[in-house]
Amino acid sequence: MTPLIDPFARAISYLRVSVTDRCDFRCTYCMSEHMTFLPKADLLSLEELDRLCSTFVRMGVRKLRITGGEPLVRKGILTFFQAMSRHLATGALKELTLTTNGSQLAKFAQPLADLGVRRINVSLDTLDPDKFARITRWGRLPQVLEGIEAAKAAGLRVKINAVALKGFNEDELFPLLDWCAVNDHDLTFIEVMPMGEDMSPLRLDQYWPLKDLRARLADRFTLTDLAERTGGPARYVRVEETGQKVGFITPLTHNFCESCNRVRLTCTGELYMCLGQEDMADLRAPLRASPDDAELEQAIRAAIARKPRGHDFDYSRQKVAGQMTRHMSHTGG
- Binding site listing for S-adenosyl-L-methionine: 29, 69, 123, 193
Q: List helix spans (H) across the chain.
A: 46-58, 77-90, 105-114, 129-136, 141-153, 173-183, 201-206, 210-220, 284-289, 294-304, 328-331
Summarize the annotated binding site for [4Fe-4S] cluster as residue ranges.
23, 27, 30, 257, 260, 274
Summarize the annotated binding site as residue ranges.
16, 23, 27, 29-30, 65, 69, 99, 123, 159, 193, 257, 260, 262-264, 274
Q: 16: left (phi > 0), else alpha (psi -120 to 50), else beta?
A: beta
* Bridge partner residues of 160 (DSSP): 122, 187
* Bridge partner residues of 258 (DSSP): none
- Cα 212 from Cα 214, distance rounded (Å): 5
Do the Cβ atoms of 149 and 126 come closer than 8 Å?
no
- Cα 14 from Cα 1, distance rounded (Å): 17
Task: Report the amino acid identity of residue 299.
Answer: A
Q: How many Cα atoms are found within 13 Å in the side-chain-facing hemisphere of 275? A: 24
Q: What is the dihedral of CA 13, 122, 324, 193, to 10 degrees?
A: -110
Is 129 in a helix, a strand, or coil?
helix
